[in-house]
Amino acid sequence: MPKNVICLLALVCFVAVALPGGTRQVQAQGPPAPYPAAAPLDQYLIPDKAAEIDLARSAAPASISDQAEVLVFTRDGYVTAAKGGNGFVCLVERSWAKSTDDPEFWSPKIRAPHCLNAPAAKTYLPIVLRKTTLVLAGKSNIEIAQTLQASWEKKEFPALEPNAMCYMMSKQQYLSDNDVHWHPHMMWYVPGDSAKSWEANLPGVPVIAGNVPEDRMTIFMIVVDHWSDGTQFTH
């Protein structure tokens, strides 16, 4: 897989691609992690609940997000701030949605609005919520990784349902210090190492994919040319 694809996956999909010469090796050769440990909890919170609801809804066009359930992050974890009726769930993921060895795993700057469809809300979201619980319990990234592995081995997470996907089309997203807003895009969550099934990452193919061993899935991503509010994307 080309290095530029690996970097994009690490940035946007919160993926650490487990390939020789991939993200893990690059990180080991780079400078020290800018966020070596968790910041004070206040730095991850958005004090204005209404602002977080609006940010979460900005992940998808209003025709979807206006009718979606919305979760907001609090000192007790994610809680429902608005009920929905179309099966979608919108939330602003924090940095620990990234892989545990990502150098920005503890960055308090990360704000990643997602709108998950019903299959993703039922079968992908539990991973994010489990990681959030572990963060609030004061666990280190290494302890979180170990707990996730044990949870998978005990079959505590549901199997990913077919068609699980999300919208990430927020103009206000902060995905990485290196490329804050990146591109509006859509993502699909598929069990196992499935990149070959879409022939993703090949020249001329508009699909980027990366295996996420920690979450036992492959994430497929397609960028789009406009933000959720309809404005054109310009880099």
When pLDDT is averaged across residues 212-225 and rounded to a whole number, the result is: 95
> What value does the mean pLDDT take over residues 11-18?
44
Angle between helices 141-153 and 125-136 (to 10 degrees): 140
The predicted structure's pLDDT at residue 51: 99
What is the reported pLDDT for 180? 80
pLDDT at residue 117, rounded to an integer: 99
Higher pLDDT, 15 or 117: 117
Closest C-alpha among 31, 5, 39, 33 to residue 19: 5
132-166 pLDDT, tens digit per residue, is 999 999 999 999 999 999 999 999 999 999 999 99
What pLDDT does residue 48 have?
Answer: 98
More confident residue, 30 or 159: 159
Has residue 21 got a pLDDT over 50?
Answer: no
Phi-psi region of 204 (alpha: psi -120 to 50; beta: other; left: phi over 0): left
Contact assessment for residue 177 and residue 11, using Cβ atoms and an 8 Å cutoff: no
Predicted confidence at residue 15, as pLDDT, reads: 45
When comparing pLDDT for 54 and 180, which is higher?
54
Q: Lowest mean pLDDT: which of 16-30, 125-139, 211-225?
A: 16-30
Name residue, tokens 């809804």: 57
pLDDT score at 29 = 54
pLDDT band at residue 19, thresholds of 50, 70 and 90? very low
Strand intervals (E) in the chain = 69-74, 77-82, 89-93, 112-116, 165-168, 185-191, 208-212, 217-223
Q: Measured between alpha carbons, how far is 97 from 107 in angstroms, rounded to an integer?
A: 11
* Domain limits, the chain: 3-39+92-215
Which band of pLDDT confidence, cut at 50, 70 and 90, is reported for residue 235? confident
**What is the rounded CA–CA span in Å between residue 208 and residue 221?**
5
Residue 99 confidence (pLDDT) above 50: yes
**Is the whole-model pTM more than 0.85?**
yes
- Choose the weakest-confidence range: 17-21, 81-85, 210-214: 17-21
The answer to whether residues 24 and 18 touch, using CB atoms and an 8 Å cutoff, is yes
User: At which residue do the structure tokens 């990430």 appear?
Assistant: 168
Are 88 and 121 within 8 A, CB to CB?
A: yes
Pick 20 or 119 by higher pLDDT: 119
In Å, how far from its chain's centre is CA 212?
11
Q: Is the pLDDT reported for residue 2 higher than 80?
A: no
Residues 171-206 pLDDT 10s: 999 999 988 888 999 999 999 998 889 999 999 999
